[in-house]
Amino acid sequence: MRAFSMGVLLAGLMVLALPSAGRAEHKPLFDGKSFAGWEGDTEKTWRIEDGAIVGGSLETVVPRNEFLCTTKTYGDFELKLKFKLLGDRKQVNAGIQFRTKRIPKHHEVIGYQADIGQHYWGALYDESRRNKILAQPDKDVLEKIVKHDDWNEYVIRCEGPRLRLWLNGTLTVDYTEKDEKIDRGGVIGLQVHGGAKAKIHYKDITIEDLTAKADK
């Protein structure tokens, strides 16, 4: 009886260790060594250093906003990535665009942004559309979770009209879009903000496509 119970227990543990049936897994968006699957100003603004995508400079002022964007579009998804922002904390800024589109014949994009820097950490910004913060955490929350001049992590989850942001494991935004005319799909983009000497690093970029789940 004891041997049988032990066998059942071991079998149960093995089942728990396996991924759930039909569950999608996070897949890399960046291979750590090339810009495959991405497009943007890779001659002057963006480069790859030590397995990370790097934009901007601490020697010269970044002249304007620049975005490195995926060539593929996404609707419902969960995105995970790590980032590190360097420079004068009062001036430097960056962000991760999602459900975004390039503006034709322009360096700017239009869409949602998970903001980084200044007093916008953990906030949801609407780039080149409503041009305002849609939701953001309290200042006292940010003081506890932001790691200045070090690696931080964003998790961005989009499910229909609901958009959620986690910064270093803390939920900072849970926003529901009420404007049904706003597109629920688009590219993902990495931003370095113009106007300051700033250097932003992005790495360990992965995504889980939730669109198939939403369609079921």
Residue 149: pLDDT over 50: yes
pLDDT of residue 211: 84
What residue ranges do the domains of the chain occupy? 25-215
Residue 62: pLDDT over 70: yes
DSSP tally for the chain: helices H, then strands E: 3, 15
Please state the separation of Cα 82 from the chain's center in Å: 8
Model confidence pLDDT, tens digit, residues 28-51: 999 999 999 999 999 999 999 999
Model confidence pLDDT, tens digit, residues 77-118: 999 999 999 999 999 999 999 999 999 999 999 999 999 999
Of all residues in the chain, what percent carry a pLDDT higher than 90?
A: 85
Cα separation, 118 vs 89, whole angstroms: 6
Query: Given its phi and psi angles, is residue 2 left (phi above 0), alpha (psi -120 to 50 degrees) or beta?
Result: alpha
DSSP conformation class of 160: T
86 neighbors 172 (Cβ within 8 angstroms): no
Q: Which CATH superfamily is domain 25-215 in?
A: Exo-inulinase; domain 1 (2.60.120.560)
Map residue 7 onto helix, strand or coil. helix
Which residue, 115, 135, 137, 122, is CA-closest to 167? 122
Which residues share a beta bridge with 101? 110
Model confidence pLDDT, tens digit, residues 13-26: 333 343 333 456 89
Map residue 195 onto helix, strand or coil. coil
Residue 75: pLDDT over 60: yes
Residue 214: pLDDT over 70: no
Cα separation, 168 vs 105, whole angstroms: 36
pTM of this structure:
0.87
Cα separation, 39 vs 97, whole angstroms: 14
pLDDT of residue 179: 97
Cα separation, 209 vs 60, whole angstroms: 38
